[in-house]
Amino acid sequence: MPGLGSGGSLDTGGVRWTPSRMIARLGKEINNPESICYWAQKNQIPVLSPALTDGSLGDMIFFHSYKRPGLVLDIVEDLRLINTQAIFACKTGMIILGGGLVKHHIANANLMRNGADFSVYVNTAQEFDGSDSGARPDEAVSWGKIRVDATPVKVYADASLVFPLLVAETFARRAGAFVGTEGTPEPGGTPEG
């Protein structure tokens, strides 16, 4: 695996690894323009993953820790990063695809700033089983994770089908404003305009 197997590169040089640093390193090592991680690291955008060890990457980290002991993955630094970004942001918005841990992590960061200004959930989960994934936006409002004056939306649909359509009809239509071809967007704008 790039980054993990290249001579113990993840546990040398006194680097304190966080999930976001590890993802950036993997994006760099992958060196594939079709990868979101590649573009995120290239543009110095942290990819925050509180569940990095869940799945095959976690298995690789586990095996790597036996081959080269000493690798420590500090999730607290990433937690401080997401919470601090939320606290000091002028406005925040959440687009939550799916649910579970990631939904909870992002919503909790917004709790630190008295709630997100905008929120869209896209998932197929129902609330009757008590899962975080199925919780409607009004539950997040009751906790202070979404502002009381916000107009949150939950779309009951498969995110892999619906999200590309949402992007095509919203952000993609205004992409020129973000890259400077249609002038400079006004700061503090709203999703509607």
Active-site annotation, residues: 145
Residue 150 DSSP symbol: -
Among left, alpha and beta (phi > 0; psi -120 to 50; other), residue 172 is: alpha
Rounded (10°) CA dihedral 49, 52, 57, 60: 140
Q: Is 188 helix (H, G, I), strand (E, B) or coil?
A: coil
Give 120-149 as a DSSP string: EEEE---GGG--TTT--HHHHHHHTSB-TT
Strands (E) located in the chain: 93-97, 118-123, 153-156
With both helix axes pointing from N to C terminus, report the angle between 19-30 and 75-88 in degrees, rounded to the nearest 10: 100
